[in-house]
Amino acid sequence: MPTDRAEVSFEPMAERHLPMLLAWLSEPHVRQWWGDPDVELGLIRDGCETGEVDGFIFHIEGEPAGYIQSWIPSQYDDEAWAGELSADTSGVDIFVGPPEMTGKGVAALALRSFAARLFEKGAERIVIDPDAGNHRAVRAYTKAGFVPFGEWIDESGRTLLMELTRTEFERN
């Protein structure tokens, strides 16, 4: 089980990671919230290639543990809630890949470490948008310091909007 002092590292997404990502996206605990593995893999690959997202494989103590990406929500017209956010707000998406690593604090640990990187690069606020029914994710994000600031309801369901500000991050 990771501790707050476990080493977290980030490796930029590369073509060689695609088979591992597909395997993780096919795991029931990921597929439930991310959708069709082939579609999601294509979106990740395309987003990283075009620069729409900055994607990484994150490692805990040197072991590949999941995928994390950042993006700028204000650049997306198809996310109605995101258009109101400032350009210095980063969006984050994450999943823990290996099933044996779930429920052990891995996501919270990776998010805190990734948030530090984003704040160092100038972000003032970081948002994450889990499905409101994904209680495991909401708990992990809360543990990482994110707090709810709203919700969005559309045909796909209810999305909880959560944020972590630079000020709050620096306090903890």
Q: Is 3 contained in some domain?
A: no
pLDDT classification of 4: cutoffs 50, 70, 90 = low
Residue 70 β-bridge partners? 54, 92
Under the banding of pLDDT at 50, 70 and 90, the label for residue 161 is very high
Instruction: Enumerate the H helices of the chain as residue ranges.
Output: 18-26, 28-34, 37-50, 106-120, 135-143, 166-171
Looking at the domain assignment, is residue 30 inside a domain?
yes
SS3 135: helix
Quote the pLDDT of residue 155: 79
DSSP state of 75: G
Q: What is the pTM of this model?
A: 0.93
165, part of any domain = yes
User: In this structure, is residue 106 part of a structural domain?
Assistant: yes
Domain span including residue 153: 8-171
Does residue 15 form part of some domain? yes
Please check whether residue 1 lies inside any domain of the structure.
Answer: no
Phi, psi of 54 (to 5 degrees): -110, 100
Burial readout 83-118 (b: 16 or more C-beta within 10 A, e: otherwise): eebeeebbbbbbbbbbeebbeebbbbbbbbbbbebb
Tokens of 21: 């990502």
What is the CATH classification number for the domain harbouring 43? 3.40.630.30
Specify the number of domains making up the chain.
1
Give the tens place of pLDDT for each residue, 41-82.
999 999 999 999 999 999 999 999 999 999 998 887 677 777
**Residue among 14, 25, 1, 103 at smallest CA distance from 57:** 14
Looking at the domain assignment, is residue 28 inside a domain? yes
Residue 107 placed within a domain = yes
* pLDDT tens readout for residues 98-152: 999 999 999 999 999 999 999 999 999 999 999 999 999 999 999 999 999 989 8
